[in-house]
């Protein structure tokens, strides 16, 4: 693996995005009730300056299926308060396999660059039947032709299962072949998770004593000489085409819950990792490690979470104003009233409809400050819409169920591309006010005259 500088720079150059990744084996622990406690996972700089955040979780508690507060909900609430939007796939709104989960968040300016989203799942337990150990992949293809492939995994445990882990790496890599293979494209792969590779040739108590006095440089040397993953990489057996930033943090497993000490029934090991590779014959893409560290302040699992921030090249020649394939008209001659049917009008780029259009595409209303691409206020299939000639232009029209007053957006979701391909400017639905009218000596209530709703500020 290429050695990175120990002294990282957090600067982002023009034309770059900051991608932050977190891997955490939860050891079946439930999420904290207070959202503010999620601050421990991300610094203010990471939430303010990151363009995308990706979270890989392992050993998620099955109590979440029985009503316990999901970790995904806690991360979503915290990150969306900092301007992120959760990217949900329409047919599988959660990237979930067994007790493993992946969460993908992006800032609003990222979304117009996305052409397509896909997912893959690889099960490694009981001959591929069960997914407690396995991998989740999400591939985001951008409109400039580049891609971002995200893989989170949980590989076989125990020191002696090295060969099994190496096999699972290859099974996973083969299972992540998408219809348009990343091997023939240009883009990035980031692979994170509990990979379970162990430290070897050292006894647990001996290793613990060494770690207590080790400097970051000495920790790096320990990884080079004793880490199974690094040895497998150098021998070409696994992850040979991947890179990893320099490890200067202490082993992430197995820690005693409630402390930073190790359970010496097992040799302390760097089980939790983040690796990456770039495929780009033109050498136009680049990855710079901005940080790579553990979070020892998190002490309620037997694993310490690991996170890394990276600068990657942003997709080229994509501007928000011109990149949406569907254009909405939110102008209106009269106000939209709450709980009244809403007429929407939109135009679809013919080149999109010819190749990827489907009657199972759907249009929806989102909150103006949308938190999740899969969380709509109301929606309908495009097959239930119709075309109308308005002036010299043809518009597709539809009626959506009325909703409560507030600020909203129209969105268009592609069934085949599995992502939003159109998002309107914000508009406002107003309250239906009543005024008192006197007639023939009696009084009655009638709808008040309401001024035309004004568009609110552009998507920032």
pLDDT digits (tens, 9 = 90+) for 209-220: 999 999 999 999
* Higher pLDDT, residue 170 or 9: 170
- Supply the DSSP symbol for 112: G
Flag whether pLDDT at 119 surpasses 60.
yes
Mean pLDDT of 106-123: 93
Q: What confidence tier does 249 reach under pLDDT thresholds 50, 70, 90?
A: very high
Whole-number pLDDT of residue 91? 58
What's residue 305's pLDDT? 98
**Average pLDDT, stretch 202-213?**
95
pLDDT, tens digit, for every residue of 38-68? 999 999 989 999 999 999 999 999 888 676 7
* CATH code for residues 324-447: 2.60.40.2840
pLDDT of 82 higher than 70: yes
Give CA–CA dist 93/374, Å, rounded.
Answer: 7
> Cα–Cα distance between 361 and 354 in angstroms, integer?
13
**Residue 3 CB-half CA count within 13 A:** 9
pLDDT at 316: 85
Tokens of 188: 């990035």
In this predicted structure, what is the pLDDT of residue 440?
57
pLDDT for the residue 94: 75
Q: Spell out the domain ranges in the chain.
A: 16-313, 324-447
Q: How many angstroms separate the CA atoms of 177 and 122, rounded? A: 11
| Residue 14, helix vs strand vs coil | coil
Signed CA dihedral, 191, 194, 200, 205: sign only: positive
Residue 184 confidence (pLDDT) above 90: no
Nearest Cα to 395, choosing from 460, 451, 330, 308? 330
Assign 311 to helix, strand or coil. strand
Q: Which helix (H) or strand (E) holds 44?
A: helix 44-49
Burial 120-158 (b: 16+ CB within 10 A, else e): bbbbbeeeeeebebbbbbbbbbbbeebbbbbbbbbbbbe
pLDDT tops 60 at residue 458? no
Q: What is the pLDDT of residue 331?
A: 84
* Main-chain phi, psi angles of 173, to 5 degrees: -60, -40
| Residue 436 structure tokens | 């008192």
In sequence order, the 6+-apart residues with CB closer than 8 A to the CB of 359 are 381, 382, 383
Spatial separation of the C-alpha atoms in residues 389 and 393, rounded to whole Å? 6
Give CA torsion, residues 20, 25, 29, 33, to 10 deg. Answer: 0
Closest-CA residue to 192 (of 103, 267, 99): 103
Given this model, what pLDDT does residue 432 score? Answer: 73
> What DSSP string runs through 232-273?
HHHTTSSSTT-B-PPP-SPP-BSBPTTSS-B-TTS--B--EE
- What pLDDT shows up at residue 13? 76
pTM of the model: 0.90
Pairing assessment for the beta strands 186-194 and 146-154 based on DSSP bridges:
parallel
Mean of pLDDT values over 89-107: 84
**Position 163 pLDDT exceeds 90:** yes
Q: What is the mean pLDDT of the chain?
A: 88
Ranking 85-89, 231-235, 314-318, 419-423 by mean pLDDT, the lowest is 314-318
Q: What is the CATH number of domain 16-313?
A: 3.60.10.10
- On the question of pLDDT at 197 being above 60, the answer is yes
Instruction: Return the pLDDT at 178.
Output: 76
Residue 291: is it exposed, middle or buried by C-beta count within 10 angstroms (0-12/13-18/19+)? middle
Please state, in angstroms and rounded to a whole number, the distance separating the CA atoms of residues 308 and 259.
23
At residue 45, what are phi and psi to the nearest 5 degrees? -65, -40
Q: Of the ranges 79-83, 331-335, 336-340, which one carries the lowest mean pLDDT score?
A: 331-335
CA dist 129 → 91, 137, 158, 243 (Å)? 21, 17, 21, 31
Structure-token match 């099974």, residue found: 171
Residue that has been written with the tokens 């006095």 in this structure: 213
Q: Is the pLDDT of residue 335 over 90?
A: no
Mean pLDDT of all residues in 226-231: 98
What is the arithmetic mean of pLDDT over 171-197? 84
Exposed / middle / buried, residue 351 (Cβ in 10 Å: 0-12, 13-18, 19+) = exposed
DSSP secondary structure code for residue 431 in this structure: -
CA 448 to chain centre: 45
Q: What is the mean pLDDT of residues 149-177?
A: 95
State mean pLDDT over 129-141: 83
Residues 253-278, mean pLDDT to the nearest whole number? 96
Q: Looking at residues 123-144, what average pLDDT do you find?
A: 80
Query: What letter would DSSP give residue 373?
Result: T
* Confidence class for position 130, pLDDT limits 50, 70, 90: low
Among residues of the chain, what percentage have pLDDT more than 90?
A: 72
pLDDT for 333:
67
């Amino acid at each position: 693996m290429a050695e990175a500088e120990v002294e990282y720079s957090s600067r982002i150059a023009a034309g770059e995005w900051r991608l932050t990744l977190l891997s955490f084996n939860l050891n079946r622990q439930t999420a904290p009730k207070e959202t503010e406690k999620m601050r421990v996972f991300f610094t203010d700089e990471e939430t303010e300056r990151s363009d995308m955040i990706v979270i890989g979780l392992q050993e998620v508690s099955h109590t979440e299926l029985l009503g316990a507060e999901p970790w995904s909900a806690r991360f979503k609430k915290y990150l969306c308060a900092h301007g992120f939007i959760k990217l949900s796939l329409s047919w599988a709104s959660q990237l979930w396999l067994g007790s493993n989960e992946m969460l993908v968040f992006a800032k609003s300016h990222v979304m117009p660059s996305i052409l397509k989203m896909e997912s893959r799942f690889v099960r490694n337990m009981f001959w591929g039947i069960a997914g407690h150990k396995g991998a989740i992949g999400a591939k985001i293809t951008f409109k400039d032709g580049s891609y971002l492939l995200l893989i989170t995994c949980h590989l076989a445990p125990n020191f002696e299962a090295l060969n099994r882990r190496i096999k699972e790496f290859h099974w996973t890599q083969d299972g992540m072949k998408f219809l348009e293979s990343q091997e023939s494209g240009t883009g990035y792969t980031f692979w994170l998770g509990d990979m379970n590779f162990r430290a070897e040739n050292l006894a647990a108590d001996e290793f613990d004593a060494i770690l207590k006095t080790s400097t970051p440089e000495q920790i790096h040397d320990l990884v080079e000489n004793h880490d199974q993953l690094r040895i497998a990489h150098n021998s070409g057996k696994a992850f040979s085409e991947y890179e990893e930033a320099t490890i200067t943090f202490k082993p992430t497993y197995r820690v005693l819950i409630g402390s930073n000490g190790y359970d010496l029934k097992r040799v302390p090991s760097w089980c939790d990792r983040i690796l990456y590779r770039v495929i780009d014959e033109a050498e136009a893409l680049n990855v710079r490690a901005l940080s790579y560290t553990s979070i020892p302040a998190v002490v309620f699992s037997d694993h310490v979470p690991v996170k890394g921030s990276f600068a990657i090249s942003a997709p080229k020649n994509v501007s928000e104003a011109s990149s949406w394939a569907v254009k909405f008209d939110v102008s209106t001659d009269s106000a939209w009233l709450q709980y009244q049917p809403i007429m929407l009008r939109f135009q679809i780029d013919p080149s999109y409809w010819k190749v990827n259009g489907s009657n199972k595409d759907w249009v929806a209303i989102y909150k103006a400050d949308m938190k999740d691409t899969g969380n709509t206020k109301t929606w309908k299939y495009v097959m239930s819409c119709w075309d109308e000639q308005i002036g010299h232009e043809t518009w597709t029209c539809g009626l959506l169920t009325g909703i409560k007053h507030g600020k909203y957006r129209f969105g268009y979701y592609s069934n085949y591309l599995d992502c939003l391909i159109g998002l309107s400017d914000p508009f406002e639905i107003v309250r239906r006010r009543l005024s008192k009218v006197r007639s023939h000596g009696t009084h009655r209530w009638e709808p008040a005259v309401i001024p035309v709703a004004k568009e609110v500020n552009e998507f920032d």
